[in-house]
Amino acid sequence: MRTIEGSIEVPVGVARRVYGRMVVEVRDVSRADAPSLVVAEDARDDVVVDPGEPLRFALQVPDVEPGRSLSLRVHVSCDGSPGVKRGDLLTTASHPIPPRGDRSSLRVPVKVV
């Protein structure tokens, strides 16, 4: 196991509020013909979000075989439900994670849906 840590960059225009749930996942996205698989997850309820203030995260992620592709996904849900809806914060770009070794100071921007 290794540690992947960093911060979620909240857009400046977001109003300060409590979001129902924040989920940070590392997914195996190696296969284009199959759904991605969650290999690590950090989930928290009742997360206070301040505009322009980062949200810290840390995940324990297994090493994977060379040639596998891992990517980080963030979903901060207004009401805590798993579905993405208007007002949620979400990653909209790929954030690759190397197959081996720790990673710190990862900066992950999210956008308002």
Tokens matching residue 12? 């400046």
Q: Delineate the domains of the chain, giving CATH numbers in brackets.
A: 2-112 (2.60.40)
Report yes or no on whether pTM surpasses 0.95.
no
The 8-class DSSP code of residue 86 comes to T
Residue 66 has pLDDT above 90, yes or no: no
CA–CA dist 27, 49 (Å, integer): 24
pLDDT value of residue 71: 96
pLDDT by residue (tens digit) across 70-111?
999 999 999 999 999 999 999 999 999 988 888 888 999 999
Per DSSP (E only), the strands in the chain are 2-9, 17-28, 37-49, 55-61, 70-77, 89-90, 96-97, 103-109, 111-112
Mean pLDDT score across all residues of the chain: 94
